[in-house]
Chains A and B, each alone.
Chain A
């Protein structure tokens, strides 16, 4: 059954369609938001830029406009949202920068993690599960600090690789490896956040 959707629903539907078509991977999210294509970005400024852009493109501003102009504005708004989603996330941002540099990104293109690295990640994950089970908040915090520090170090290397000019081959390779490591760190830190949230919920009256 087809129900005529509201304007907001149209945005959501269009976004899904574009995303599933992989259309978004073709755009340059930095260009869309008028930002330099670098890794180290001031996220507060990025957020402000996105908010301003969204305001100027809001459907309410185009009520009296023609159909094609309305469609164009809607497309731009969708693009801005997608660009913001990419740029605000360190992993997605690094992926976008790698793509812009001509490197393959995604499943099958990722470097294989070294056994020693995987062993370390496994030990962290086991220690975190143990800390969760024994409700050891101090242990969770210690692990989060250690892995958080590693994530920061990876991000620093990515920041040095992507400064606005095309990275050389060695920098690109290093960036791919750091991005792969960063995914494991971020996954771990997401788990920490989930545990802390669950504990907070339990503690709430």
Chain B
């Protein structure tokens, strides 16, 4: 199967690979797995007091499409508020990367990772203010 140029570009030069301190109260971590293929993806956000995502990092063990999807996701959410980031849909990733049908689950994984990271951040914040 041929990868699109954008997938290859992201897979060869992934943006924002790395780790944020998961114990930092301003960091939300989203860890998701693809049950159909056994790959894992971690996406982390650091959120400022104004609700803007200041930094995003990811680590993905999976195929080129999974790496590209998470790489693109971190690029997109940086500088957005968490509410804006939450509206990103997997189809946006599919369209941007020209993912074929068999790789759609990679974009679903990236969307889930964003949502899980945001939920984790919110949970931490609520625990602090409660």
- How many chain B residues sit at the interface, stated as a range, is 10 to 19
Stretch at the interface among B5-13, B34-42, B91-99: B34-42
Interface of A is mostly: helix
Q: Are B32 and A118 in contact (CB under 8 A)?
A: yes
Q: Are B40 and A183 in contact (CB under 8 A)?
A: no
Q: Are A125 and B37 in contact (CB under 8 A)?
A: no
Number of CB contacts from chain A to chain B under 8 A: 43
- Cβ-based interface call for A121 (8 A): yes
Q: Contacts A107-B105, A129-B61: A187 and B39 contacting too (C-beta < 8 A)?
A: yes
Number of interface residues of A (CB under 8 A): 23
Q: Are B38 and A187 in contact (CB under 8 A)?
A: yes
| Complex: A112 Cα to B115 Cα, angstroms | 15
Across chains A and B, which 8 residue pairs bring their CB atoms closest together, nearest first?
Answer: A187-B38, A110-B35, A125-B61, A183-B38, A184-B38, A113-B33, A118-B31, A118-B33
How does the 8 Å CB contact mask read for A112-138 relative to B, with 1 for contact and 0 for none?
Answer: 110101110110011001000000000
Give 4 A-B pairs besides A118-B40, A186-B38, A188-B38 with Cβ atoms closer than 8 angstroms.
A110-B35, A112-B35, A113-B33, A125-B40
- Cβ-based interface call for B80 (8 A): no
Chain A residues with Cβ under 8 A from B31's Cβ?
115, 118-119, 122
Chain B residues with Cβ under 8 A from A106's Cβ?
36
Q: Which residue of B lies closest to A116 (CB)?
A: B31
- Cβ-based interface call for B122 (8 A): no
Nearest CB on B from A93, distance (A): 16
Q: Which residue of A lies closest to B22 (CB)?
A: A119
| Complex: A122 Cα to B42 Cα, angstroms | 8
- Cβ-based interface call for A34 (8 A): no
- Cβ-based interface call for B124 (8 A): no
- Cβ-based interface call for B15 (8 A): no
Nearest CB on B from A121, distance (A): 5
| Complex: A187 Cα to B38 Cα, angstroms | 6
Q: Which residue of B lies closest to A106 (CB)?
A: B36
